[in-house]
Amino acid sequence: MLLGSLVSGAVEAFVPRESITRWLPKNYAAAIAVSALMGLVLPMCECASVVVIRRLIRKGLPLSCAITYMMGAPIVSPVVALSTYVAFRGQNPLEMTLLRLVIGFLIAVGVGMAVRDIPAEKLLQPAMLDSLPGRRRTGLSMAVAGNDSTLDLGGEGLRGKLFRTVQSATSDFLDVTFFFVVGAAIASTFNTAVNQNLLIPLATNPALSVMAMMVLAFALALCSSTNAFIAVSFRMFPPSAKLAFLLFGPVFDTKLFFMYGAVFRRWFVLSLGIGLFIVIALICNHLGLILNI
């Protein structure tokens, strides 16, 4: 969270608005695909990516690309790939790692494409929208950031930019941490007060096992860089259910439900959660049948 806030603050202070989209391909599909792969060069866990995209959206990154990055970064990243491979040693690690990365990438691209034509007014919280007085379309149109209310004591010098970084980082940290604290409190209650063994009888039914592991991923709200180690410990569950755990948790869990609320409207957060649940459950069930995992 802190690292994400500092990156966000640095983006605000050091990255000119017009340069934020310069590196994006002009072709829409290619831009979405590049956004889904941004986690390979800017690896962020799911919490940090929420903080970062708020600033990137204000800096003019197209909303659909920002959402794609938010969905992709917690899965399509070298840290997650390595941790998944290590966790699944002795249990087809390469297969599980590749499946996680490729399906995570496809899901991120799919979400990006799905929100392409939805106006920003319907997606973003009013407070976020107020900071985007420019064009408020998604797709590749830019939402130009407005004036920031933080002080610029040092003019254009390095000292001033560092000062601005601190101010912006603090704003972002306080904005999102509020939701993080609420979500983490609920997740930790489940993690300690609810008997997780109650899910074990569902392990023998392929379809139910997939859904049970997704519910568990939502409730536990574990970091995407370490959740593979927990997935492995559920030995009774089939690999397809573990894959569902690894795909769903990083993009939608208890804390993210609240943190997304700092950026997006409630209907979109709910729709995103339900949509992701259905799509990932279907994919993992089918993979379980096709690949016999």
Partner 1 sequence: MTTLFNRWLPGVTLLAWSAVLLSFYISGRIASFLIPAFRVNVLLAGLVFLGMACCFLFLPAVANCCDEERCGHPLGRNKLGRIATFLILLLPVVTAALCSPKNFGATTILNKGIVTDAGGLVMRKTPQKLAQPAAPAIASNPAEPALPTKDGSQPAAQASPAATQTDADNYLPKSKEGNIQLQVLDLLYAAQDTSMRADFEGKTVEVIGQLMPAEADLAGANRFKLMRMFMWCCAADAKPIAALVEAPEKPTAPEMAWVKVVGKVTFPVEGGRTIPVLKAISVKQTEPPEETMLY
Judged by CB under 8 A, the residue of 40, 186, 191, 275 near partner 1 is 191
Judged by CB under 8 A, the residue of 23, 26, 41, 233 near partner 1 is 233
> For partner 1, which is the closer residue by CB, 36 or 80?
80
Contacts of 284 (CB under 8 A, 6+ apart): 210, 240, 241, 243, 244, 247
Smallest distance from partner 1 to CB 94, Å: 16
Q: Which stretch binds partner 1 (CB under 8 A): 109-117, 134-142, 175-183, 268-276?
A: 175-183
291: closest CA among 95, 86, 94? Answer: 95
Phi-psi bin for 41: left (phi > 0), alpha (psi -120 to 50), beta? alpha
Judged by CB under 8 A, the residue of 30, 86, 274, 289 near partner 1 is 86
CA–CA separation, 4 and 9 (whole Å): 8
Task: List, in sequence order, every residue forming a beta bridge with 124; answer none if it has no partner.
Answer: 264
Q: Which stretch binds partner 1 (CB under 8 A): 61-69, 136-144, 161-169, 275-283?
A: 161-169
Judged by CB under 8 A, the residue of 141, 170, 208, 215 near partner 1 is 170
Residue 15 token pair: 């990255």
In order, the DSSP letters of 111-163 are HHHHTTTS-HHHHB-HHHHHT--S----TT---------S--TTTTSHHHHHH
Smallest distance from partner 1 to CB 140, Å: 25
Q: How far is CA 226 from CA 32, 45, 83, 120, 143, in A?
A: 27, 10, 7, 33, 35
Smallest distance from partner 1 to CB 27, Å: 33
Size of the site for partner 1 (CB under 8 A): 53
Q: Does 151 bind partner 1 (CB under 8 A)?
A: yes
Q: List contacts with partner 1 (CB under 8 A).
A: 2, 6, 86-87, 89, 125, 127-128, 130-131, 148-151, 153, 163, 166-167, 169-171, 174-175, 177-178, 181-182, 185, 187-188, 191-197, 220-223, 225-227, 229-230, 232-235, 261-263
